[in-house]
Chains A and B, each alone.
Chain A
């Protein structure tokens, strides 16, 4: 079974600084998708960024970018110019192509200090 591991239960960053959240996953498949979701306190989970495994180019969405290392099965999220509104739980998730279900890590709680 596929597993997703987030080794950092909590992280903190100063406003305007850069922070990297780690994620590793275990799979024997070659066709899959990886996601980072953000879950603010008492609010809905929203998609931050998505990466298709067949794409070598790392995905980027404004201040959010990933470092996708397929061979190492690593998928880290970099947040640049951190803002107070970035404070949330961040979940890494894996979706085997066509499986229609996400496997989530346990999450990393990000605190942004003013």
Chain B
């Protein structure tokens, strides 16, 4: 297992188009998170899954954003009708609730989105 993987790593899209990012967590991890990071800022929490259930969504996640984790394994984050303000790096992370580890969260390398 090589850790959290994200695809694509980079995406350039025209304003108004839809984009989808995929995240494959560490295989034994049942928790999966999406964060957004803009230049010069720390990551901001977007949403969180435990298994297939989406348990929390940030107010940052507008109705143009939807995240799924249909079988409790990989997750997708879709952005509809992209806007220039959506340009950011979208980070996926995972953790396990089975082993008490102080909620250590492991991050992927991120998916860079540029909206032109």
Contacts and interface: CB of A to CB of B under 8 A. Distances in A.
Contact of B56 (A43, A93, A101): A101
A104 B43 contact: yes
B21 interface: no
A78 interface: no
Interface in A61-114: 91, 93, 95, 97, 100-107
Contacts, number: 55
B110 A102 contact: no
A102 B105 contact: yes
B48 A101 contact: yes
B7 interface: no
Chain A interface residue count: which class?
20 to 34
Contacts of B91: 45
Contacts of A107: 40-42
Interface in B36-73: 40-45, 48, 50, 55-56, 58
B41 A106 contact: yes
A52 B106 CA distance: 17
A107 B107 CA distance: 16
Contact of A50 (B40, B41, B102, B108): B102
Given A44-B107, A47-B106, A105 B42 contact: yes
A14 B56 CA distance: 43
Contacts of B58: 101
Given A33-B102, A44-B107, A47-B105, 14 more contacts: A4-B42, A44-B3, A44-B108, A45-B43, A45-B91, A47-B104, A50-B102, A97-B103, A100-B31, A100-B103, A102-B45, A104-B43, A105-B42, A107-B40
25 contacts: A33-B103, A35-B104, A42-B109, A43-B109, A44-B107, A44-B110, A47-B104, A47-B105, A91-B42, A97-B103, A100-B48, A100-B50, A100-B55, A100-B103, A101-B45, A101-B58, A102-B35, A102-B43, A102-B45, A104-B42, A106-B40, A106-B41, A106-B42, A107-B40, A107-B42
Interface of B: 3-4, 31, 33, 35, 40-45, 48, 50, 55-56, 58, 91, 102-110
